[in-house]
Structure 1
Amino acid sequence: MASPPAPPTAPHPVDAWLPPGQLLVYGLQHVLAMYAGAVAVPLILAGALGLSRAQLVYLIGADLFTCGLATLIQTVGFRGVGVRLPVIQGCTFAAVGPMILIGRQGGLPAVYGAVIAAGTLTLLAAPYFARMLRFFPPVVTGSIITLIGISLLPVAVRWAGGGDPSSTDFGAPSALGLSFATFGLVLLYKRVLRGFWQGVGVLLGLVSGTVLAALLGRLDLGGVREAGWLAVTTPFAFGLPQFTPGAVASMALVMVVVMVESTGDFVALGELTGRPLTPEALSRGLRADGLSTMLGGVLNAFPYTAYAQNVGLVALSRVRSRWVVAAAGLILMVLGLLPKLSALVAAIPAPVLGGAGLLMFGQVAASGLRTLARVDFDSEEGRLNGLVVGATLAVGLIPLGSPGFWRSLPEWAQVVLQSGITAGSLTGIVLHAVLVRGGREG
């Protein structure tokens, strides 16, 4: 008799397709976690370049739309492009300084010319950069994941205090109370709820915190009333791109930083989701960064990278499906087209975001510590591993302790070193190669 057919193999959690309602709610949770960071870049750039309010609104819409498009490219993927992990794409903060300098000299057309050229170079360099994956053993990846979490915590702290540390009411009792009420609510939801509701504990905490803020009179919906209903992003809205060698070189350096940071985020997600990163997957992910950055220059947006704050949400929610983040990409595209909706999301008070962010970013650091728990620290080689961890964290945390520490160095060096994640990652990679791999081979 013929043997019965084998039961169908369940898909990996990363590839699992959830019911549409769950995709929408989980996706919205990811959008709320990254929204403040996504809109911060156009806000800073517009202020530095003296753009009008109408131009600022346009930049925000273009950025959100392209964030969504870039996220779809990264999560869904096609023909050798896209890491196909639950990765949210957003504008890298490493590009802010160079974009301001380029914009002051040549305007936005020069900025977008440099962005397009740097994206093209990243697309071409991705397969070669991906060969570096062998320099990311657990001692390095655990150190980087821990560093990512610790580096993000000050962002959550600033949100928790009210958003602007220079404000006279920063750290006001009402802000702190709202922040830690949200913090406690997320903890409560994650402890007592089960299944789907436990997975959206962060979203429930943000909604509850926002309702509490409204009751305390800390919810401002003025931006929603002022926003328009529809805004369509058109290519080259600020003029045809201009390509100048100096601007292209500085933006290409930014994309080197992006590739290092994205690699760290991809490795972290591979650890969290149970789908370890391969050189082929890394190459696809970096190609997606390059393609998304090229599209950013065409669609009046910016260079794009994986957003580390959403790594924390994957760790906290334990929802690993990339289709959830693809749904978040669709939501971002809709928000980019409908300013009233994006203004509604932006109305969530900073202390509410801070309360949830403290937990999310702490979870990233905890994930790094779990990876480091598998590392040998007792043998002779293990003691060298301890040096790698210590040096990675020490160098990576310098910009947090003293933001102006590297200001006397050349601009190109500041671009690399001011990103603590990049500086720490490079330190860990180099030291492990020299001290551990070099000693082993010697």
Structure 2
Amino acid sequence: MTTNTKNSELIYSLEARPPAMQASFAAIQHVLASFVGIITPTLIIGGVLGLGEHIPYLISMALIVSGVGTLIQARRPFGIGAGMVCVQGTSFAFLGSILAAGFIAKGQGGGPDEILSLIFGVCFLGAFVEIFLSQILSKLKRVITPLVTGIVITIIGISLIKVGITDLAGGFKAPDFGSLENLALGGIVLVSIITFNLSSHPLIRLSSIVLGLIVGFLVAAFMGKISFPDFSSVSLISVPIPFKYGFSFDWTAFIPIAFIYLITAIETAGDITANCVVSKQPIVGASYMKRIKGGVLGDGVNSLLAAIFNTFPNTTFSQNNGVIQLTGVASRYVGYFIGAILIILGLFPIIGAILQQMPKPVLGGATLIMFGTVAAAGVKLLATEELDRRKLLIMAVSFGTGLGVAMNPAVLGELPKVVQNIFGSAITTGGLFAVVMSVLLPDKVAVLSMTDNTEISSGKVSVGS
């Protein structure tokens, strides 16, 4: 059944069942739009924490769990999921906190197994935070606001930019860090992605990051920066093994990750709202709240599965809303095809082994844009707010404290180690200040006295010299 009315640009509505060929083509475009986002956090975490030979397996698990999670969101079993095309993928928001947890395990003398055991242990327990929040979303209006969400998303993007620019220059502790070759290679990827993204062809624009990586990979091969090792030792099939690396816990690693689950619940609610808009579904009323509740619950359950099956927390990808809008295919049954493709890709670890050979400058050229886009999304959300003195004050303190500790971690050097680990995260510090100040500061602030050396006009305040 197609929807082709004058009031809708959709070709296939939410409950329509497109033919297999058209559904497959739509699904491939969704996979192209999300594939790099699903695997990139694993590549970054694996590279920074020195997980080496474990990376292909971790990438396989990321793809398989993303596929299963997408199926859950589309199928909505037992009320878990939004019942829409909500592509699930590894969340960038957790990157800083996961790396911090990994360094805690590493600092205690742990190897890859111990590092992954701690990360997956705290992520498993943290998922219950989002599952709980899904049940009380309607009661968190005071905390879950565009202001708080915008601040946190902006801090996430800005704090991750350091990772992208480090990779572009060659990677952490690289002997040729900052060399002209590395900068040129990363720059080529950057320019390629921008060029492809400006294309008038929808498929090229959607595939801009993938195409940019391909260009970078080919240029790197020409420069002699790629050497394929013997893949004979790589398993033919990746078998999901629950808690393959064990299970451990640490409070200082858990608290920042638990806080990010709060933020991703807010993000997911926004993404599902956007999905409702492009899918021509209501954004008010009981059916809308049911979708939001089910979608956030699905996020939490999928992140629980991710920790069990050895990958990092999942979230709903926002870029796939653009695919729905461009293709005109909102059918949730396309989610079945997306899930199946991702699972098939994940079953073969050779894919992860090949992707592991991606030179750091190539990866950095892509992630720099991706992380910058996250920050820009936060700024865009903040721009929708009417910024009075109260909100500007909350923004100023949140950005100042959060990014301040990220730029100069030594400021916490004299405090207990547990405090350093918790508040050393820009996201945790800035986010906590945003939440606490939003709750404590009164909505109405006193009007500035006209006798002060100020000018108040057109709703704007400018302070005189």
Give the TM-score taking structure 1 as reference length: 0.75
Q: Which moved more, 1:403-412 or 1:191-200?
A: 403-412
Q: CA deviation at 1:339?
A: 1.2
Partner of 2:450: none
1:130 to 1:103, Cα distance in 2 relative to 1, 3 A: farther
Counterparts of 1:288 and 1:137, CA distance in 2: 21
* Contact 2:134–2:265 (8 Å) recurs in 1: no
Partner of 1:152: 160
Partner of 1:214: 221
Q: What are the ranges of 5 or more consecutive residues in structure 2 without an aligned counterpart? A: 278-282, 447-465
Cα deviations across residues 209-246 of structure 1 (Å, max 9, x unaligned)? 2111111112232265652322212335467x68xxxx
Counterparts of 1:59 and 1:7, CA distance in 2: 47
1:88 to 1:134, Cα distance in 2 relative to 1, 3 A: farther
Counterparts of 1:296 and 1:190, CA distance in 2: 31
* Contact 1:27–1:327 (8 Å) recurs in 2: no
* Contact 2:30–2:323 (8 Å) recurs in 1: no
1:12 to 1:64, Cα distance in 2 relative to 1, 3 A: same
* Contact 2:33–2:206 (8 Å) recurs in 1: no
Q: Which moved more, 1:82-91 or 1:426-435?
A: 82-91
Partner of 2:392: 386
The two structures, once aligned, show a CA RMSD in angstroms of: 4.3
1:71 to 1:394, Cα distance in 2 relative to 1, 3 A: farther
The correspondence for 2:184, drawn from 177, 189, 205, is: 177
Counterparts of 2:394 and 2:331, CA distance in 1: 32
* Contact 2:150–2:382 (8 Å) recurs in 1: yes
Partner of 1:371: 381
Partner of 2:136: 128
Q: CA deviation at 1:180?
A: 0.9
Q: Percent identity among equivalent residues?
A: 22
2:400 aligned with 1:401, yes or no?
Answer: no
Counterparts of 1:220 and 1:420, CA distance in 2: 37
Q: CA deviation at 1:362?
A: 2.2
Partner of 2:363: 353
The correspondence for 2:236, drawn from 219, 226, 229, is: 229
SS of equivalent residue, structure 1 residue 82: coil
Q: Which moved more, 1:410-419 or 1:354-363?
A: 410-419
* Contact 1:218–1:349 (8 Å) recurs in 2: yes
Q: Which has the higher helix share?
A: 1
Q: CA deviation at 1:340?
A: 0.8
Counterparts of 1:284 and 1:411, CA distance in 2: 38
Partner of 2:202: 195
Q: CA deviation at 1:157?
A: 0.6
Q: Map 1:42-121 onto structure 2 (within 5 A).
A: 58=57, 61-74=60-73, 77-82=76-81, 85-90=86-91, 92-93=94-95, 94-95=97-98, 97-98=100-101, 101=105, 116-120=124-128
Q: What are the ranges of 5 or more consecutive residues in structure 1 without an aligned counterpart? A: 48-52
Aligned residue type for 2:147: V
2:36 aligned with 1:32, yes or no?
Answer: yes
* Contact 1:36–1:346 (8 Å) recurs in 2: no
Q: CA deviation at 1:417?
A: 2.5
1:268 to 1:96, Cα distance in 2 relative to 1, 3 A: same
Aligned residue type for 2:216: G
Q: CA deviation at 1:204?
A: 1.6
Partner of 1:257: 259
Partner of 1:138: 146
Q: CA deviation at 1:360?
A: 2.6
